[in-house]
């Protein structure tokens, strides 16, 4: 192997996308976008069959990807993920881009909500973000570079009826990102929170929120590839003009 080829592989940075589900989902779209930019993408999610399909689609398109099955609410799983990601191996060098995209959302009457339901939303939407953010900062801060991006939601900005559990957990994630940005920005880490204000044109809306799709139509949903473009643009920003919070919404979405 020539020196040029060896340098190319060893210097190729990796991206980690956490919270990848169906092929027609934001996690998958982010993974494909980063792979198209030459990153080896570590596709992380709870379901082996789903992340395998995303990995296979990337490889078939000429990109590079591998999978890690993990639960973001389990500390040992998150540590293991970053142990794998930071190794220099046949897939490239260490990580320079981490996206926390795990989350869940469904309405629930606060009066009848079980305590473990409230806690489960907090663990997934907020606590998992802490575990990932902590491990990413531990590994990237000594290197003095890298982006840590958190997928946010409208609920992070305002709590709506029947969404107290969701809004409080996403607001916690937003404050986590804000504190991390102030703590680690001076060390060279770009921490950003992306408010996704509206439904995403993917499998979840079409299967679980059919009434929303009927009401809004395709023009009222965010395009997955367009969202992925915004995430990549954040990662590519010069450190003299970093964006911490970016909100994205369809042109028909009221706000």
Helix (H) or strand (E) holding 190: strand 190-196
Whether the model pTM is above 0.75: yes
Q: For each successive 10 residues of the chain (255 residues), what is the average pLDDT? A: 48 94 97 98 98 98 98 98 95 95 94 97 98 98 98 96 97 98 98 96 71 68 97 98 97 90
State the pLDDT at residue 22. Answer: 96
CATH number for domain 3-248, candidates 3.40.109.10, 2.40.33.10, 3.90.1580.10, 3.40.50.720: 3.40.50.720
Chain centre to alpha carbon of residue 220: 22
Half-sphere exposure in the Cβ direction for 37 (13 Å, CA): 19
Closest among 92, 46, 40, 87 to 66, alpha carbons compared:
40
Q: How far apart are CA 209 and CA 213, in angstroms?
A: 7
**Structure confidence at residue 2 (pLDDT):** 38
| Contacting residues for 57 by C-beta, under 8 A, at least 6 apart | 23, 28, 32
CB contact at 8 A, 160 and 115: no
Q: Please give the pLDDT value at position 255.
A: 87
CB 166 within 8 A of CB 121: yes
Q: What are phi and psi of 22, to 5 degrees?
A: -70, 160
What is the Cα–Cα distance from 245 to 192, expressed in whole angstroms? 6
């Amino acid at each position: 192997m020539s020196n040029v080829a060896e340098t190319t592989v060893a210097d190729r940075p990796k991206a980690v996308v956490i919270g990848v589900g169906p092929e027609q989902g934001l996690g998958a779209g982010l993974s494909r976008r980063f792979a198209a930019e030459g990153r080896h993408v570590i596709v992380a999610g709870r379901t082996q069959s789903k992340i395998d399909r995303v990995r296979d689609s990337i490889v078939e398109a000429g990109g590079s990807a591998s999978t890690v099955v993990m639960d973001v609410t389990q500390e040992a799983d998150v540590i293991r993920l970053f142990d794998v990601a930071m190794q220099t191996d046949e897939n490239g060098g260490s990580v320079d881009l981490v996206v926390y995209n795990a989350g869940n959302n469904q309405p629930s009457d606060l009066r009848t909500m079980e305590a473990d339901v409230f806690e489960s939303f907090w663990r997934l939407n907020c606590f998992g973000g802490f575990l990932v953010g902590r491990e990413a900062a531990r590994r990237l801060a000594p290197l003095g570079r890298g982006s840590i991006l958190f997928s946010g939601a409208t609920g992070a900005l305002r709590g709506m009826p029947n969404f107290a559990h969701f809004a409080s957990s996403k607001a916690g994630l937003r404050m986590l990102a804000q504190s991390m940005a102030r703590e680690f920005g001076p060390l060279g880490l770009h921490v950003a929170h992306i408010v996704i204000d509206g439904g995403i044109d993917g499998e979840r809306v079409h299967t679980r929120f059919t009434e929303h799709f009927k009401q809004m139509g395709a023009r009222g949903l965010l395009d997955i590839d367009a969202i992925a473009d915004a995430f990549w643009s954040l990662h590519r920003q010069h450190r003299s003009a970093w964006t911490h919070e970016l909100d994205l919404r369809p042109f028909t979405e009221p706000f």
